[in-house]
Amino acid sequence: MASKIYGSCDLVDVNFDGGARLTLIDGPLQLGWKHSGITSDFIAEVMAMPFASRKDSYNDVHHSISYLTNELIENAVKFRLPAEIKIEACLGDAEFLLRVRNPIDPETSSVFQRKLDQILDDNPGDLLIQQIEANALSDGSTSGLGLLTLLSDYGAKMTWEFCPHEMDSVMLTTTAAVAVPLTSNL
């Protein structure tokens, strides 16, 4: 399998120096949903600090960062092979940047790539409405709303890179950017 990139290719080589790097390690922690929320809240708190002098900006930035981070970490926890999840975050020029890297199995990779083909070939807002309607008619066992909400409602720019990895696995690198206000108390 050759490497494949979907989405905004300009995010592939974003430099995260000067930001935060975290690694979630499986083991006694038994990584689960609770780690997604705790980790995303921590990252949002740290990254929103420069906006603390303006409560409205701070709340908006904190919420956007927390939502984006939580969605990407939840997906990494849910679909990963038993291994580390590497997270990088930083503030860029008027945007928050996040990169999450984790191994997945080849079948999950194929299914996700097909889903990305559909998402990137259509309007995320229309797909979000369709997914909401489909979820209302289903048994509630699937959602699929997080990624579509990020693209539609948050205007997130995203890229997904699928690279061959060790032991018949694929390394999925998801990089995302959401706008944040230009003004802070820096």
Q: How many CB atoms lie within 10 A of CB 101?
A: 18
Q: Which sign, positive or negative, has the C-alpha torsion 70, 38, 170, 173?
A: positive
Dist CA 139 CA 123 (whole Å): 25
Give tens-digit pLDDT for 104-138.
Answer: 999 999 999 998 998 888 777 777 677 777 767 77
- Domains in the chain (CATH in brackets) are 4-179 (3.30.565.10)
Give, for 123, the enclosing helix (H) or strand (E): none
Which residue, among 42, 78, 51, has the nearest Cα to 174 in the 3D structure? 78
Give tens-digit pLDDT for 65-77.
Answer: 999 999 999 999 8
81 class by beta-carbon count within 10 Å (0-12 exposed, 13-18 middle, 19+ buried): middle
Dist CA 92 CA 96 (whole Å): 6
Would you say residue 147 has pLDDT above 70?
yes
Name the pLDDT band for 34 (thresholds 50, 70, 90). Answer: confident
Whole-number pLDDT of residue 33:
65
Query: Which two three-digit tokens encode residue 104?
Result: 């997945």
Q: How many CB atoms lie within 10 A of CB 115?
A: 13
Dist CA 91 CA 178 (whole Å): 10
Calculate mean pLDDT across residues 176-183. Answer: 83
- Distance of alpha carbon 142 from its chain centroid, rounded? 18
Name the pLDDT band for 186 (thresholds 50, 70, 90). Answer: very low
SS3 content of the chain, % helix, strand, coil (to 5): 45, 25, 30
Whole-number pLDDT of residue 25:
84
Whole-number pLDDT of residue 185:
45
Whole-number pLDDT of residue 61:
94
